[in-house]
Chain A
Protein backbone atom coordinates (compact mmCIF):
# COMPACT_ATOMS: atom_id res chain seq x y z
CA UNK A 1 0.00 0.00 0.00
CA UNK A 2 2.84 2.36 0.87
CA UNK A 3 4.18 1.83 -2.60
CA UNK A 4 0.88 2.98 -4.11
CA UNK A 5 0.96 6.18 -2.08
CA UNK A 6 4.49 6.81 -3.16
CA UNK A 7 3.58 6.22 -6.79
CA UNK A 8 0.61 8.55 -6.41
CA UNK A 9 2.81 11.29 -4.97
CA UNK A 10 5.32 10.75 -7.74
CA UNK A 11 2.70 11.25 -10.44
CA UNK A 12 1.15 14.25 -8.68
CA UNK A 13 4.57 15.75 -8.47
CA UNK A 14 5.44 15.15 -12.09
CA UNK A 15 2.13 16.58 -13.28
CA UNK A 16 2.44 19.66 -11.15
CA UNK A 17 5.89 20.38 -12.58
CA UNK A 18 5.75 23.33 -14.93
CA UNK A 19 6.58 22.68 -18.56
CA UNK A 20 8.37 25.10 -20.74
CA UNK A 21 7.91 25.25 -24.47
CA UNK A 22 10.68 25.48 -27.05
CA UNK A 23 9.44 26.59 -30.44
CA UNK A 24 11.38 25.65 -33.52
CA UNK A 25 10.38 26.76 -36.97
CA UNK A 26 11.94 25.36 -40.11
CA UNK A 27 12.43 27.51 -43.20
CA UNK A 28 13.78 26.39 -46.55
CA UNK A 29 15.45 29.20 -48.49
CA UNK A 30 17.56 29.82 -51.55
CA UNK A 31 20.17 32.40 -50.56
CA UNK A 32 17.93 34.84 -48.71
CA UNK A 33 14.68 34.03 -50.49
CA UNK A 34 12.13 31.65 -49.04
CA UNK A 35 11.24 28.74 -51.31
CA UNK A 36 7.83 29.19 -52.91
CA UNK A 37 6.69 26.08 -54.78
CA UNK A 38 5.51 26.17 -58.41
CA UNK A 39 5.95 29.89 -59.12
CA UNK A 40 9.24 31.41 -58.04
CA UNK A 41 12.41 30.91 -60.07
CA UNK A 42 15.84 30.53 -58.47
CA UNK A 43 19.15 31.16 -60.23
CA UNK A 44 21.91 28.60 -59.83
CA UNK A 45 25.63 29.39 -59.78
CA UNK A 46 26.06 27.82 -63.24
CA UNK A 47 23.52 30.13 -64.87
CA UNK A 48 20.63 27.66 -64.93
CA UNK A 49 17.37 28.62 -63.28
CA UNK A 50 15.01 26.25 -61.50
CA UNK A 51 11.55 25.98 -59.99
CA UNK A 52 10.51 23.69 -57.16
CA UNK A 53 7.40 21.48 -57.27
CA UNK A 54 7.85 19.28 -54.19
CA UNK A 55 10.09 19.76 -51.19
CA UNK A 56 9.76 17.72 -48.04
CA UNK A 57 12.09 15.98 -45.63
CA UNK A 58 12.26 14.18 -42.31
CA UNK A 59 13.74 15.60 -39.13
CA UNK A 60 14.03 13.00 -36.38
CA UNK A 61 15.48 12.29 -32.94
CA UNK A 62 15.58 15.89 -31.72
CA UNK A 63 17.79 16.34 -28.64
CA UNK A 64 18.91 19.35 -26.63
CA UNK A 65 22.37 19.39 -25.10
CA UNK A 66 24.10 21.38 -22.41
CA UNK A 67 27.87 21.02 -22.85
CA UNK A 68 27.59 17.59 -24.53
CA UNK A 69 25.14 16.27 -21.92
CA UNK A 70 21.71 15.44 -23.30
CA UNK A 71 19.18 17.42 -21.23
CA UNK A 72 16.15 16.67 -23.36
CA UNK A 73 15.25 13.92 -25.86
CA UNK A 74 11.97 14.17 -27.72
CA UNK A 75 9.95 10.94 -27.62
CA UNK A 76 8.65 9.48 -30.88
CA UNK A 77 10.56 12.25 -32.61
CA UNK A 78 9.65 12.14 -36.30
CA UNK A 79 8.71 15.30 -38.19
CA UNK A 80 7.92 15.57 -41.85
CA UNK A 81 8.74 19.14 -42.85
CA UNK A 82 6.77 19.93 -46.00
CA UNK A 83 7.21 23.27 -47.78
CA UNK A 84 3.63 23.01 -49.08
CA UNK A 85 2.23 22.74 -45.53
CA UNK A 86 3.02 25.71 -43.23
CA UNK A 87 1.89 23.91 -40.07
CA UNK A 88 4.40 21.11 -40.65
CA UNK A 89 7.25 23.62 -40.36
CA UNK A 90 6.73 24.31 -36.66
CA UNK A 91 7.92 21.93 -33.98
CA UNK A 92 7.11 22.47 -30.31
CA UNK A 93 9.11 20.76 -27.60
CA UNK A 94 7.80 20.57 -24.04
CA UNK A 95 10.50 20.40 -21.43
CA UNK A 96 10.64 20.81 -17.69
CA UNK A 97 11.05 24.34 -16.42
CA UNK A 98 14.56 25.62 -15.91
CA UNK A 99 16.42 23.33 -18.28
CA UNK A 100 19.08 25.26 -20.09
CA UNK A 101 20.82 24.10 -23.24
CA UNK A 102 23.39 25.37 -25.70
CA UNK A 103 23.05 22.95 -28.57
CA UNK A 104 20.39 21.16 -30.59
CA UNK A 105 21.05 17.88 -32.39
CA UNK A 106 18.75 16.11 -34.81
CA UNK A 107 18.86 13.66 -37.67
CA UNK A 108 18.07 14.46 -41.26
CA UNK A 109 16.18 11.31 -42.24
CA UNK A 110 14.90 8.13 -40.65
CA UNK A 111 17.07 5.68 -38.68
CA UNK A 112 17.49 2.06 -39.80
CA UNK A 113 15.53 0.56 -36.88
CA UNK A 114 12.45 2.55 -37.87
CA UNK A 115 13.06 1.63 -41.50
CA UNK A 116 12.62 -2.06 -40.74
CA UNK A 117 9.90 -1.62 -38.10
CA UNK A 118 6.84 -2.19 -40.30
CA UNK A 119 3.89 0.12 -40.89
CA UNK A 120 3.89 3.35 -38.86
CA UNK A 121 1.37 6.15 -38.44
CA UNK A 122 1.40 9.93 -38.23
CA UNK A 123 4.19 11.59 -40.20
CA UNK A 124 5.61 8.12 -40.93
CA UNK A 125 2.40 6.83 -42.57
CA UNK A 126 3.19 5.54 -46.07
CA UNK A 127 0.41 7.75 -47.47
CA UNK A 128 2.77 10.69 -46.86
CA UNK A 129 4.57 9.70 -50.07
CA UNK A 130 7.89 9.28 -48.30
CA UNK A 131 8.14 5.49 -48.43
CA UNK A 132 9.41 3.58 -51.44
CA UNK A 133 7.01 0.91 -52.61
CA UNK A 134 9.18 -1.32 -54.82
CA UNK A 135 11.91 -1.60 -52.19
CA UNK A 136 11.44 -1.01 -48.48
CA UNK A 137 12.81 2.19 -47.05
CA UNK A 138 11.94 5.77 -46.22
CA UNK A 139 12.82 8.67 -48.49
CA UNK A 140 14.61 11.06 -46.12
CA UNK A 141 14.58 14.03 -48.45
CA UNK A 142 12.38 14.55 -51.50
CA UNK A 143 12.93 17.43 -53.89
CA UNK A 144 11.33 17.71 -57.31
CA UNK A 145 11.35 20.59 -59.73
CA UNK A 146 11.98 21.87 -63.23
CA UNK A 147 15.12 23.24 -64.85
CA UNK A 148 13.87 24.93 -68.01
CA UNK A 149 17.28 26.23 -68.96
CA UNK A 150 18.88 22.77 -68.87
CA UNK A 151 19.92 21.67 -72.35
CA UNK A 152 18.70 18.06 -72.38
CA UNK A 153 15.15 17.12 -73.37
CA UNK A 154 13.98 16.08 -69.93
CA UNK A 155 13.66 19.23 -67.85
CA UNK A 156 12.41 17.83 -64.55
CA UNK A 157 14.74 16.93 -61.71
CA UNK A 158 13.99 14.50 -58.90
CA UNK A 159 16.14 13.90 -55.86
CA UNK A 160 14.71 11.18 -53.64
CA UNK A 161 17.43 10.65 -51.08
CA UNK A 162 16.84 7.76 -48.71
CA UNK A 163 17.45 4.16 -47.78
CA UNK A 164 19.08 2.67 -44.71
CA UNK A 165 21.26 -0.27 -45.71
CA UNK A 166 25.04 -0.29 -45.61
CA UNK A 167 26.91 1.04 -47.56
CA UNK A 168 24.27 3.50 -48.78
CA UNK A 169 22.79 4.79 -45.51
CA UNK A 170 22.30 8.53 -46.06
CA UNK A 171 21.09 9.39 -42.52
CA UNK A 172 22.81 12.57 -41.34
CA UNK A 173 23.39 14.07 -37.90
CA UNK A 174 23.04 17.84 -37.65
CA UNK A 175 24.30 19.93 -34.71
CA UNK A 176 23.58 23.61 -34.22
CA UNK A 177 24.35 26.02 -31.39
CA UNK A 178 21.46 27.77 -29.70
CA UNK A 179 20.33 28.85 -26.26
CA UNK A 180 17.05 30.50 -27.24
CA UNK A 181 13.60 29.14 -26.46
CA UNK A 182 12.34 30.13 -29.85
CA UNK A 183 14.47 29.88 -32.97
CA UNK A 184 14.44 29.31 -36.67
CA UNK A 185 16.35 26.52 -38.43
CA UNK A 186 17.23 27.51 -41.97
CA UNK A 187 17.97 25.08 -44.79
CA UNK A 188 19.70 27.00 -47.59
CA UNK A 189 19.52 25.05 -50.85
CA UNK A 190 21.96 27.39 -52.57
CA UNK A 191 24.72 25.50 -50.75
CA UNK A 192 23.23 22.20 -51.90
CA UNK A 193 23.15 23.17 -55.56
CA UNK A 194 26.75 24.39 -55.29
CA UNK A 195 27.84 20.73 -55.64
CA UNK A 196 25.12 19.60 -58.07
CA UNK A 197 25.45 19.83 -61.84
CA UNK A 198 21.90 19.47 -63.12
CA UNK A 199 23.19 19.02 -66.67
CA UNK A 200 24.77 15.77 -65.53
CA UNK A 201 22.65 14.61 -62.62
CA UNK A 202 18.89 15.16 -62.38
CA UNK A 203 17.47 11.92 -61.05
CA UNK A 204 18.27 10.00 -57.91
CA UNK A 205 15.44 7.65 -57.01
CA UNK A 206 17.10 4.86 -55.05
CA UNK A 207 19.72 4.30 -52.34
CA UNK A 208 23.18 4.85 -53.85
CA UNK A 209 26.59 6.45 -53.20
CA UNK A 210 25.49 9.79 -54.71
CA UNK A 211 22.47 9.90 -52.41
CA UNK A 212 24.86 9.64 -49.46
CA UNK A 213 27.14 12.40 -50.80
CA UNK A 214 24.23 14.75 -51.46
CA UNK A 215 22.77 14.04 -48.02
CA UNK A 216 26.10 14.91 -46.43
CA UNK A 217 26.02 18.20 -48.32
CA UNK A 218 22.43 18.88 -47.20
CA UNK A 219 23.45 18.42 -43.57
CA UNK A 220 25.91 21.29 -44.07
CA UNK A 221 23.15 23.58 -45.37
CA UNK A 222 21.43 23.98 -41.98
CA UNK A 223 21.95 27.05 -39.85
CA UNK A 224 20.14 28.74 -36.99
CA UNK A 225 18.69 32.20 -36.72
Chain B
Protein backbone atom coordinates (compact mmCIF):
# COMPACT_ATOMS: atom_id res chain seq x y z
CA UNK B 1 0.00 0.00 0.00
CA UNK B 2 2.78 2.40 0.99
CA UNK B 3 4.64 1.74 -2.24
CA UNK B 4 1.55 2.71 -4.23
CA UNK B 5 1.12 5.82 -2.18
CA UNK B 6 4.69 6.93 -2.95
CA UNK B 7 4.27 6.30 -6.68
CA UNK B 8 1.01 8.19 -6.58
CA UNK B 9 2.59 11.10 -4.74
CA UNK B 10 5.48 11.25 -7.22
CA UNK B 11 3.05 11.30 -10.10
CA UNK B 12 1.18 14.17 -8.46
CA UNK B 13 4.33 16.18 -7.85
CA UNK B 14 5.45 15.55 -11.41
CA UNK B 15 2.11 16.78 -12.78
CA UNK B 16 2.36 19.82 -10.54
CA UNK B 17 5.87 20.70 -11.77
CA UNK B 18 4.76 20.40 -15.41
CA UNK B 19 1.76 22.61 -14.76
CA UNK B 20 3.91 25.16 -12.97
CA UNK B 21 6.16 25.64 -15.95
CA UNK B 22 3.22 26.22 -18.31
CA UNK B 23 1.64 28.89 -16.14
CA UNK B 24 3.11 30.53 -13.08
CA UNK B 25 1.40 33.04 -10.84
CA UNK B 26 3.93 35.69 -9.78
CA UNK B 27 4.13 35.89 -5.98
CA UNK B 28 2.73 39.41 -5.73
CA UNK B 29 -0.18 38.74 -8.16
CA UNK B 30 -3.69 37.86 -7.00
CA UNK B 31 -5.21 34.45 -7.80
CA UNK B 32 -6.28 34.07 -11.44
CA UNK B 33 -9.95 34.46 -12.31
CA UNK B 34 -9.88 31.89 -15.12
CA UNK B 35 -11.02 28.42 -14.05
CA UNK B 36 -8.08 26.25 -15.13
CA UNK B 37 -9.80 23.13 -13.82
CA UNK B 38 -12.22 23.31 -16.75
CA UNK B 39 -9.40 23.68 -19.27
CA UNK B 40 -6.14 22.30 -17.81
CA UNK B 41 -3.11 23.52 -19.75
CA UNK B 42 -1.05 21.05 -21.76
CA UNK B 43 1.81 21.75 -24.11
CA UNK B 44 -0.01 20.34 -27.12
CA UNK B 45 -3.16 22.32 -26.47
CA UNK B 46 -1.14 25.52 -26.07
CA UNK B 47 0.62 24.76 -29.36
CA UNK B 48 -2.72 24.18 -31.08
CA UNK B 49 -4.01 27.47 -29.67
CA UNK B 50 -0.89 29.30 -30.70
CA UNK B 51 -1.17 27.93 -34.24
CA UNK B 52 -4.84 28.97 -34.35
CA UNK B 53 -3.93 32.44 -33.08
CA UNK B 54 -1.73 32.97 -36.14
CA UNK B 55 -4.19 31.22 -38.52
CA UNK B 56 -5.77 33.38 -41.29
CA UNK B 57 -8.30 30.56 -41.95
CA UNK B 58 -10.18 32.00 -38.99
CA UNK B 59 -11.41 34.72 -41.38
CA UNK B 60 -13.88 34.31 -44.22
CA UNK B 61 -11.35 34.85 -47.03
CA UNK B 62 -8.30 33.48 -45.18
CA UNK B 63 -6.60 36.87 -44.87
CA UNK B 64 -6.97 37.94 -41.23
CA UNK B 65 -5.63 36.13 -38.18
CA UNK B 66 -5.83 37.16 -34.51
CA UNK B 67 -2.28 38.43 -34.91
CA UNK B 68 -3.45 40.93 -37.56
CA UNK B 69 -4.80 43.12 -34.75
CA UNK B 70 -2.82 41.60 -31.86
CA UNK B 71 0.85 41.55 -32.78
CA UNK B 72 3.29 40.25 -30.14
CA UNK B 73 5.73 43.13 -30.64
CA UNK B 74 3.17 45.67 -29.44
CA UNK B 75 2.06 43.57 -26.44
CA UNK B 76 -0.55 42.01 -28.73
CA UNK B 77 -2.32 45.11 -29.96
CA UNK B 78 -2.21 46.96 -33.28
CA UNK B 79 -0.05 50.05 -33.10
CA UNK B 80 -0.54 53.14 -35.24
CA UNK B 81 -4.19 52.34 -35.96
CA UNK B 82 -6.65 54.29 -33.87
CA UNK B 83 -9.48 51.87 -34.68
CA UNK B 84 -8.97 48.21 -35.55
CA UNK B 85 -8.72 47.13 -39.18
CA UNK B 86 -10.27 43.91 -40.46
CA UNK B 87 -11.39 41.95 -43.47
CA UNK B 88 -11.68 43.83 -46.83
CA UNK B 89 -9.91 46.82 -45.18
CA UNK B 90 -12.93 47.40 -42.95
CA UNK B 91 -12.44 49.73 -40.02
CA UNK B 92 -13.94 48.80 -36.68
CA UNK B 93 -15.29 51.07 -33.99
CA UNK B 94 -12.71 50.57 -31.25
CA UNK B 95 -8.96 50.42 -30.63
CA UNK B 96 -7.78 46.81 -30.35
CA UNK B 97 -6.65 46.08 -26.77
CA UNK B 98 -3.40 44.51 -25.60
CA UNK B 99 -3.47 40.80 -24.70
CA UNK B 100 -1.64 39.97 -21.50
CA UNK B 101 -2.36 38.62 -18.05
CA UNK B 102 -5.74 37.51 -19.35
CA UNK B 103 -6.07 34.81 -16.68
CA UNK B 104 -6.78 37.67 -14.26
CA UNK B 105 -9.42 39.36 -16.41
CA UNK B 106 -13.07 38.92 -15.59
CA UNK B 107 -14.61 40.76 -18.53
CA UNK B 108 -13.39 41.18 -22.08
CA UNK B 109 -13.90 43.92 -24.67
CA UNK B 110 -13.90 47.63 -23.84
CA UNK B 111 -17.51 47.34 -22.69
CA UNK B 112 -17.20 43.92 -21.02
CA UNK B 113 -19.60 42.32 -23.53
CA UNK B 114 -17.72 39.01 -23.26
CA UNK B 115 -17.84 37.19 -19.93
CA UNK B 116 -15.24 34.45 -20.35
CA UNK B 117 -11.90 34.24 -22.15
CA UNK B 118 -13.10 31.10 -23.98
CA UNK B 119 -15.89 33.04 -25.67
CA UNK B 120 -13.81 36.06 -26.64
CA UNK B 121 -12.62 34.75 -30.00
CA UNK B 122 -16.23 34.26 -31.17
CA UNK B 123 -16.68 38.03 -31.43
CA UNK B 124 -13.87 38.87 -33.92
CA UNK B 125 -14.43 35.62 -35.86
CA UNK B 126 -18.07 36.57 -36.48
CA UNK B 127 -17.82 40.35 -36.77
CA UNK B 128 -18.37 41.50 -40.38
CA UNK B 129 -15.64 44.17 -39.99
CA UNK B 130 -13.10 41.86 -38.36
CA UNK B 131 -12.94 38.27 -39.67
CA UNK B 132 -16.41 38.04 -41.21
CA UNK B 133 -16.71 34.28 -40.64
CA UNK B 134 -18.45 32.04 -38.10
CA UNK B 135 -17.26 29.40 -35.65
CA UNK B 136 -19.08 26.78 -37.77
CA UNK B 137 -17.17 27.80 -40.89
CA UNK B 138 -13.88 27.81 -38.97
CA UNK B 139 -14.49 24.35 -37.50
CA UNK B 140 -15.37 23.05 -40.96
CA UNK B 141 -12.12 24.41 -42.43
CA UNK B 142 -10.08 22.99 -39.55
CA UNK B 143 -11.64 19.56 -40.00
CA UNK B 144 -10.71 19.65 -43.69
CA UNK B 145 -7.08 20.43 -42.90
CA UNK B 146 -4.58 17.59 -42.50
CA UNK B 147 -2.33 19.86 -40.45
CA UNK B 148 -5.06 20.71 -37.95
CA UNK B 149 -6.39 17.16 -37.72
CA UNK B 150 -2.94 16.21 -36.51
CA UNK B 151 -2.70 19.14 -34.09
CA UNK B 152 -6.16 18.36 -32.68
CA UNK B 153 -5.22 14.72 -32.31
CA UNK B 154 -2.05 15.62 -30.41
CA UNK B 155 -3.97 18.03 -28.19
CA UNK B 156 -7.17 16.09 -27.51
CA UNK B 157 -6.51 12.50 -28.59
CA UNK B 158 -9.19 12.93 -31.24
CA UNK B 159 -8.63 14.58 -34.58
CA UNK B 160 -12.09 16.18 -34.86
CA UNK B 161 -12.32 19.89 -34.22
CA UNK B 162 -15.38 21.24 -32.37
CA UNK B 163 -16.30 24.77 -31.33
CA UNK B 164 -15.51 23.98 -27.72
CA UNK B 165 -12.07 22.47 -28.42
CA UNK B 166 -11.12 25.26 -30.82
CA UNK B 167 -12.06 28.04 -28.38
CA UNK B 168 -10.47 26.33 -25.39
CA UNK B 169 -7.20 25.83 -27.28
CA UNK B 170 -7.09 29.54 -28.20
CA UNK B 171 -7.71 30.31 -24.50
CA UNK B 172 -4.80 28.06 -23.55
CA UNK B 173 -2.36 30.06 -25.66
CA UNK B 174 -3.75 33.40 -24.48
CA UNK B 175 -3.49 32.29 -20.84
CA UNK B 176 0.25 31.79 -21.27
CA UNK B 177 0.68 35.47 -22.24
CA UNK B 178 1.83 36.55 -18.80
CA UNK B 179 3.75 39.80 -18.57
CA UNK B 180 5.60 40.05 -15.23
CA UNK B 181 9.20 40.79 -16.13
CA UNK B 182 9.29 44.54 -16.50
CA UNK B 183 11.66 46.70 -14.48
CA UNK B 184 8.71 47.38 -12.15
CA UNK B 185 8.41 43.62 -11.52
CA UNK B 186 12.14 43.33 -10.91
CA UNK B 187 11.94 46.15 -8.37
CA UNK B 188 9.01 44.41 -6.68
CA UNK B 189 11.10 41.24 -6.52
CA UNK B 190 14.04 43.29 -5.18
CA UNK B 191 16.17 42.38 -8.18
CA UNK B 192 16.51 45.99 -9.31
CA UNK B 193 16.00 49.56 -8.10
CA UNK B 194 14.09 52.54 -9.47
CA UNK B 195 16.07 55.65 -10.38
CA UNK B 196 15.21 58.74 -8.34
CA UNK B 197 12.94 60.01 -11.12
CA UNK B 198 11.20 56.65 -11.52
CA UNK B 199 10.70 56.43 -7.76
CA UNK B 200 9.15 59.88 -7.71
CA UNK B 201 6.95 58.95 -10.67
CA UNK B 202 5.87 55.78 -8.83
CA UNK B 203 4.88 57.84 -5.78
CA UNK B 204 2.89 60.29 -7.93
CA UNK B 205 1.32 57.35 -9.75
CA UNK B 206 0.22 55.75 -6.49
CA UNK B 207 -1.32 59.03 -5.33
CA UNK B 208 -3.08 59.98 -8.55
CA UNK B 209 -3.65 56.97 -10.83
CA UNK B 210 -3.55 53.74 -8.83
CA UNK B 211 -7.14 53.71 -7.60
CA UNK B 212 -8.20 52.68 -11.13
CA UNK B 213 -4.89 51.39 -12.52
CA UNK B 214 -4.31 49.23 -9.49
CA UNK B 215 -1.09 47.26 -9.00
CA UNK B 216 0.13 44.72 -9.84
CA UNK B 217 -2.12 44.30 -12.90
CA UNK B 218 -2.41 48.07 -13.34
CA UNK B 219 -6.16 47.85 -13.70
CA UNK B 220 -8.89 47.37 -11.12
CA UNK B 221 -10.93 45.54 -13.75
CA UNK B 222 -13.84 47.98 -13.42
CA UNK B 223 -15.68 50.13 -15.93
CA UNK B 224 -15.21 53.88 -15.58
CA UNK B 225 -15.98 57.07 -17.42
CA UNK B 226 -12.63 58.88 -17.59
CA UNK B 227 -14.08 62.12 -18.89
CA UNK B 228 -13.35 61.81 -22.59
CA UNK B 229 -15.69 63.92 -24.71
CA UNK B 230 -17.80 61.55 -26.85
CA UNK B 231 -16.63 61.12 -30.45
CA UNK B 232 -19.64 62.42 -32.35
CA UNK B 233 -19.11 60.12 -35.33
CA UNK B 234 -18.69 56.91 -33.31
CA UNK B 235 -21.26 57.85 -30.61
CA UNK B 236 -19.92 55.03 -28.45
CA UNK B 237 -21.83 54.74 -25.16
CA UNK B 238 -19.51 52.01 -23.84
CA UNK B 239 -20.73 49.70 -21.08
CA UNK B 240 -24.33 50.95 -21.39
CA UNK B 241 -24.55 49.10 -24.71
CA UNK B 242 -24.25 45.85 -22.75
CA UNK B 243 -26.25 46.62 -19.63
CA UNK B 244 -28.86 49.10 -21.02
CA UNK B 245 -28.30 50.92 -17.73
CA UNK B 246 -27.89 54.68 -18.05
CA UNK B 247 -25.54 54.70 -15.07
CA UNK B 248 -23.08 52.86 -17.31
CA UNK B 249 -23.13 55.47 -20.06
CA UNK B 250 -19.63 56.33 -21.40
CA UNK B 251 -17.95 53.80 -19.12
CA UNK B 252 -15.20 51.62 -20.56
CA UNK B 253 -13.03 48.93 -19.03
CA UNK B 254 -9.99 50.34 -17.25
CA UNK B 255 -7.09 49.05 -19.36
CA UNK B 256 -3.86 47.70 -17.89
CA UNK B 257 -0.91 50.07 -18.24
CA UNK B 258 1.64 47.30 -18.55
CA UNK B 259 3.68 47.60 -21.76
CA UNK B 260 2.07 50.97 -22.40
CA UNK B 261 5.25 52.10 -24.19
CA UNK B 262 4.60 49.51 -26.92
CA UNK B 263 0.84 49.78 -27.23
CA UNK B 264 0.03 53.26 -28.54
CA UNK B 265 -2.32 54.82 -29.48
CA UNK B 266 -4.37 55.09 -26.28
CA UNK B 267 -8.03 55.08 -25.19
CA UNK B 268 -10.94 52.98 -26.50
CA UNK B 269 -10.92 54.90 -29.77
CA UNK B 270 -7.16 55.40 -29.95
CA UNK B 271 -7.50 59.18 -29.90
CA UNK B 272 -4.18 59.88 -28.11
CA UNK B 273 -0.88 58.99 -29.75
CA UNK B 274 1.41 59.96 -26.89
CA UNK B 275 1.48 59.42 -23.16
CA UNK B 276 1.88 63.17 -22.66
CA UNK B 277 -1.48 63.68 -24.41
CA UNK B 278 -3.04 61.16 -22.04
CA UNK B 279 -1.73 62.96 -18.97
CA UNK B 280 -2.79 66.33 -20.38
CA UNK B 281 -6.30 64.91 -20.73
CA UNK B 282 -6.37 63.98 -17.05
CA UNK B 283 -5.12 67.41 -15.92
CA UNK B 284 -6.92 69.69 -18.40
CA UNK B 285 -9.38 67.77 -20.58
CA UNK B 286 -11.87 66.06 -18.29
CA UNK B 287 -15.45 66.51 -19.46
CA UNK B 288 -17.87 66.58 -16.52
CA UNK B 289 -20.87 64.25 -16.73
CA UNK B 290 -23.18 62.27 -14.45
CA UNK B 291 -21.23 59.06 -14.82
CA UNK B 292 -17.72 60.55 -14.50
CA UNK B 293 -15.44 58.48 -12.24
CA UNK B 294 -15.62 59.93 -8.73
CA UNK B 295 -11.82 60.07 -8.56
CA UNK B 296 -11.86 62.51 -11.49
CA UNK B 297 -14.59 64.87 -10.21
CA UNK B 298 -11.96 67.47 -9.33
CA UNK B 299 -9.49 66.55 -12.07
CA UNK B 300 -5.90 65.57 -11.39
CA UNK B 301 -3.36 68.26 -10.55
CA UNK B 302 0.15 67.61 -11.86
CA UNK B 303 2.98 69.96 -12.83
CA UNK B 304 4.75 69.38 -16.12
CA UNK B 305 7.78 67.99 -14.27
CA UNK B 306 5.54 65.61 -12.36
CA UNK B 307 4.02 64.40 -15.63
CA UNK B 308 7.49 63.64 -16.95
CA UNK B 309 8.24 61.67 -13.78
CA UNK B 310 5.03 59.66 -14.12
CA UNK B 311 5.86 58.82 -17.72
CA UNK B 312 9.34 57.76 -16.65
CA UNK B 313 7.70 55.41 -14.17
CA UNK B 314 5.24 54.11 -16.78
CA UNK B 315 8.18 53.13 -18.99
CA UNK B 316 9.32 50.76 -16.23
CA UNK B 317 6.22 48.70 -17.08
CA UNK B 318 7.75 47.70 -20.42
CA UNK B 319 8.45 43.98 -20.51
CA UNK B 320 10.88 43.25 -23.33
CA UNK B 321 11.05 39.57 -22.52
CA UNK B 322 7.30 39.42 -22.96
CA UNK B 323 7.10 41.13 -26.34
CA UNK B 324 10.07 39.19 -27.73
CA UNK B 325 9.30 35.85 -26.09
CA UNK B 326 9.87 33.24 -28.84
CA UNK B 327 7.18 31.02 -27.26
CA UNK B 328 4.57 33.63 -28.17
CA UNK B 329 5.67 34.16 -31.78
CA UNK B 330 4.43 32.54 -34.97
CA UNK B 331 4.95 28.77 -34.55
CA UNK B 332 7.45 27.46 -37.08
Contact = CB atoms under 8 A, between A and B. Distances in A.
Whether chains A and B associate is yes
Interface of A: 115-121, 124-129, 131, 133-137, 165, 168, 208
16 contacts: A118-B38, A118-B117, A118-B118, A118-B167, A118-B168, A119-B39, A119-B163, A119-B171, A121-B162, A125-B163, A126-B167, A129-B136, A131-B122, A135-B113, A135-B242, A137-B115
Given A135-B113, A136-B114, A126 B242 contact: no
Interface of B: 35, 38-39, 113-119, 122-123, 125-127, 134-136, 139, 162-165, 167-168, 171, 242-244
A119 B113 contact: no
B125 A127 contact: no
A119 B164 contact: yes
A117 B168 CA distance: 12
A119 B164 CA distance: 5
A121 B164 contact: yes
B162 A125 contact: yes
Given A117-B38, A118-B39, A165-B243, A127 B116 contact: no
Question: For A116, A118, A120, A131, which residue has the most chain B Cβ atoms within 10 angstroms?
Answer: A118
B118 A119 contact: yes
B115 A133 contact: no
A125 B242 CA distance: 23
Contact of B115 (A120, A121, A126, A136): A136
Contact of A126 (B35, B135, B171): B135
B118 A134 contact: no
Question: For A125, A136, A137, A168, which residue has the most chain B Cβ atoms within 10 angstroms?
Answer: A136
Nearest to A136: B115
A208 to B, nearest CB: 7
Nearest to B241: A135
Nearest to A168: B244
Contacts of B119: 118-119, 126, 131, 136
Given A125-B164, A133-B126, A135-B242, A117 B113 contact: no
A121 B158 CA distance: 14
Nearest to A128: B163
A65 B123 CA distance: 41
Nearest to B166: A119
Contacts of A135: 113-114, 242
A127 B163 contact: yes
B6 to A, nearest CB: 18
Given A116-B115, A118-B119, 11 more contacts: A118-B38, A118-B117, A118-B118, A119-B163, A120-B164, A121-B163, A126-B167, A133-B122, A133-B125, A135-B242, A137-B115
